[in-house]
A and B are shown apart, each in its own frame.
Chain A
């Protein structure tokens, strides 16, 4: 099997699994218990928090554990909304291609009377700090812009946006689920007020994440019923997962530079190889891009059949076609960067990891080329493009 869907989830690292097994075997006490066995669990919990904070450039007290990225996004946005409401500020700035864990919360708030400005992300999939600055109003209570996009991998100018928000006195949240452990993230230096992350995107376990909130930002709890996480998130801590997340993040950050360099080279080879397929185009900026992300649109084919045939060849990938999303519309991300529906249906996302080999990349290139060719040969849409009955979207 060639696993090229690391943006969906990653294989757990050995370090994370070992840390979790050891924790489950020896440290299963409740961190809230008074006796030594419980207090030892508490120490392990706080040690994990310290180590995660060190990786992110924040203080341990600023880290609140959650069930994952979606919960962290929800809590961050609702926190800012409640704070804003008290001050009569009910305007939020975000982008058109955020994760649904952000967009759906914003839609809910709109129904409650909030006003939301979704910034254009342009053809290259990047929003500018100037756009954010221009969109901020006297009643803006939050700017939320993802660190790197989960579908097309484009990296946003987070430091610049952070600076603008700090200067304007507006809270700034970033969904860093795709970025943490893959590219440098520095909470304090980048003027971030709230940041979401999820362990299973960097070889940690599923079901655990964190919301980092700057000292002074009082988080609004979503889950009530206990004093855990300083009252910001009730429920007995999932200590094995937390310990696994700490081990995975430390390892990812320790090897970040060399992994990024290696993966970027393979990513570029993958892009160059797939670029040879006629009437296909890379989605999003080639330059400001996650080291592991490749996303193409191919004319005349549909993404789900492409994925099923790649699966038959042992390749795991994903697509933004309507059929794979279970809705009638293709990916909102591809539409946000201006891809027409008919092209967005033919998208393919390949997200590699540090374990991906050059040989695997070559296999992916030739397999995708074969499958695209096969599907085009039975596609009436492709025939119409070839015979000039329909117009191509791409130049070549």
Chain B
């Protein structure tokens, strides 16, 4: 069996929503170059919905596929729903990831959360800080 599912390979080969949003309402980043992966998410929020989302990723095949899938899962969704995206949902939508690649899906979740935090901060919207307790890039992911 191949390392990755067909869905992962499809999102890796044809990543959706690659790029940046110049006038983004929220920008979030997760990971670091020493770990070998960085994800950056740009959000455009309109009327409490995700009007647009773009990503840039430095990382392996599953990191790129996870970013692509995560952006697809939140695009057009209400903020509350998008905020609730979990790494588990990303992994399931990708038809699974190898165990040692699960942290890629965590990174996607974290980058999106960081972008929402940036949006709240910029707009002085109060929030519960405990929502944004980031995990480090290689901590255990939820399978």
0/1 interface trace, chain B 93-116, chain A, CB 8 Å (1 if under): 000000011000000000000000
A301 proximal to B (CB < 8 A) = yes
A342 in contact with B15 given A302-B60, A308-B61, A380-B58 (CB within 8 Å) = no
Do residues B56 and A380 form an inter-chain contact, with CB atoms below 8 A? Answer: yes
Q: Looking at chain B's contact residues, is the secondary structure mostly helix, strand, loop, or mixed?
A: mixed
A305 in contact with B12 given A321-B60, A383-B56 (CB within 8 Å) = yes
0/1 interface trace, chain A 48-66, chain B, CB 8 Å (1 if under): 0000000000000000000
B73 proximal to A (CB < 8 A) = no
Cα of A322 to Cα of B100 in the assembled complex, Å:
11
Contact-size category for B? 20 to 34
A341 proximal to B (CB < 8 A) = yes
Interface residues of B in 22-62 (CB under 8 A from A): 29, 33-40, 56-61
Do residues A380 and B12 form an inter-chain contact, with CB atoms below 8 A? Answer: no
Which residues of chain B come closer than 8 Å to A300, judged between CB atoms?
A: 58
0/1 interface trace, chain A 282-320, chain B, CB 8 Å (1 if under): 000000000000000000111111001000100000000
Do residues A380 and B36 form an inter-chain contact, with CB atoms below 8 A? Answer: no
Which one, A308, A312, A322, A326, contacts B36 given CB within 8 A? A322
Do residues B57 and A304 form an inter-chain contact, with CB atoms below 8 A? Answer: no
A304 in contact with B60 given A341-B36, A345-B36 (CB within 8 Å) = yes
Cα of A321 to Cα of B58 in the assembled complex, Å:
12
A323 proximal to B (CB < 8 A) = yes
Which residues of chain A come closer than 8 Å to B18, judged between CB atoms?
A: 378
Cα of A342 to Cα of B32 in the assembled complex, Å:
9
Do residues A378 and B15 form an inter-chain contact, with CB atoms below 8 A? Answer: yes
B55 to chain A, nearest CB (A): 8
A96 to chain B, nearest CB (A): 19
- Of B9, B36, B57, B59, chain A has the most CB atoms within 10 Å of the CB of B36
Residue numbers of B with Cβ under 8 A of A are 9, 12-13, 15, 18-19, 29, 33-40, 56-61, 63-64, 100-101, 138
Query: Given A312-B13, A378-B18, A379-B58, 17 more contacts at CB 8 Å?
Result: A301-B58, A302-B37, A302-B58, A303-B60, A305-B59, A305-B60, A305-B61, A323-B60, A323-B101, A324-B60, A328-B35, A330-B36, A340-B34, A341-B36, A342-B36, A379-B57, A380-B29
A-B contact pairs, 15 of them (CB 8 A): A302-B58, A304-B61, A305-B61, A305-B64, A308-B9, A312-B13, A321-B60, A322-B35, A326-B100, A341-B35, A341-B36, A342-B36, A378-B15, A378-B56, A380-B57
